[in-house]
Amino acid sequence: MLTEQEVIQIAKIYVKERSEKSRLDLVILEDRCIKKSYGVIFRYNTKKYNDTRNYDDNTLMGNAPFIVQNSNGKIILLGTGREIEYYIQEYEAGRWPDMPRLSDFQ
């Protein structure tokens, strides 16, 4: 079982890698983290949006929330098409991330 600090460090590394890849200044939205018994759910966005919380600065796309599991440090990407509560419910019911995707039907 990982400590909360270890889970946070994994999340920071993940966001840093995404930041370097996209060449955007990305940060974890620390006030929007959700602590669960199985890990922590993180959201991230640009530093500018984090500082201003102005909708006009929320130009980042594809920044799906993610879980860092405290049992093994695995990162589970959630979706962006629905409210986060939906993805949490699906994950907790054991249906995420193993849900059939559109590509599975083609």
Report the residue count for the chain: 106
The whole-chain average pLDDT of the chain stands at 88
Flag whether the pTM goes above 0.75: yes
pLDDT in tens, 13-50: 999 999 999 899 999 999 999 999 999 999 999 998 88
Question: 78 or 100: whose pLDDT is higher?
Answer: 78
Query: Which residues, at least 6 apart from 4, have a Cβ–Cβ distance to it below 8 Å?
Result: 35, 40, 70
pLDDT in tens, 46-57: 998 888 877 776
Query: Which residues, at least 6 apart from 9, have a Cβ–Cβ distance to it below 8 Å?
Result: none
Residue 85 has pLDDT above 80, yes or no: yes
Contact between residue 27 and residue 1 where contact means Cβ atoms under 8 Å apart: no
**Kind of pairing, strands 39-42 and 34-36?**
antiparallel
Positive/negative CA dihedral, 6, 10, 16, 19: negative
